[in-house]
Structure 1
């Protein structure tokens, strides 16, 4: 026996009303399902979320702390080095930094095709840490021996003043390399590594709530790094004569940069091993990154 047409229409309307009511319910009104344990919270925030956001904030602090110290250091080194001048900065950005940035993009694209995300993170950041440590303890103390000052002078006399920029880069090549590595730290570690990792482990709702707080961490990093640079600048004044105060200050600051870099690696490792990542839609086959995708 079939239902009259009127009853069928009412049942359909009833189901539609129930579906609309369920869809319009706000997330705040949702309650855990029967038998599903409620996630522990602290100050109204789930502990799982805090275990992601707090390490991310600390990573962002360490990255920007290093960047500001390196930025202040590179400016002083590039201008005050023997045989250098302020003209070397725009030349280095155009003819050295730009080719190295393009080369890094191509290398990163190649590495991303066969390395895991964890291995790729360490492969990129560890050379930065190693270089800054080596610069403070090896390259700069030996700068008088490894910088070809006389050869650069002869080359400049042969080529003429039009090649003042390339000869200046050759004259203080280790300091120019330090300048370029600092520029790459700002573009690679901050924008590629950190924000790529942040978008990987956070949900859209978490990003809306907590990404703005990272700006607070940036301001705190600016305060602490500025005071650190000021402290070591004042320390050079109280050292006795005959002591290379700049070399001592540089070693101390590069030691801090290395420690902060290792802290970044430690925080990255802890998040990957201790925090459950949000579920993502998995693809059947890993797509190889082309030049446009890698960019």
Structure 2
């Protein structure tokens, strides 16, 4: 991916080397649900997502810890800032075309654990979007797991992760996240999971849509980039992850979609560049 000359975003908050010092204030609603689902998705006990220590309802703030940053991680921090800026350019333009205003999300870099408006999360949950504060959170160590654990290397695979989480922010602005949350309260667990699959696949499609527009306007793609993103999408499909962690697949518990579905919907967005093509909720077949 050609990113070195790209604009850096002003919406990056760098909390690397900071750890929460006191009790953790845990938020409610879909934010906490999303954190727990992300944890289960990556084979993590959801109990570690929320810190149960400290006085209830108290927020202890952050304190510095001595954690030297490697030059490689600093380059990654610069990279995600450029990717975020590029998503800002694409979505600002698309929202203008829809006659709407795009509110740019914040991206928070952290080490090991972080407090968000959705709760106190450890890095093991992976990157996540918190709708309560409209922020994307990522411990850059996740990219090491993406490369080694999930066998999905490459800078565009890393960019796909950011673009997918920004897709959830777009869903928040369009009212989709809130609508899904309301629907989930009124249906069975299996039906609720099916709604989440459609939401996640739509975010994949939006990530592909971003790639389409970014390359069309700024020629950011290099040979092999799309293949890197497709490999990442395939590597973190529900069926593949469940087979690796459990040895079997349970479709009723899917929350993100199969590898084939994730590849299909990213590809649909990347080929069309059309937000209307990302309506997973109207699709008869995923």
Greater RCO structure (CA 8 Å; 6+ sep): 1
Of Structure 1 and Structure 2, the greater helix share is in 1
Fold-level similarity (TM above 0.5): no
TM-score, with normalisation over the residues of structure 2?
0.26
Asked which structure has the greater CA Rg, the reply is: 1
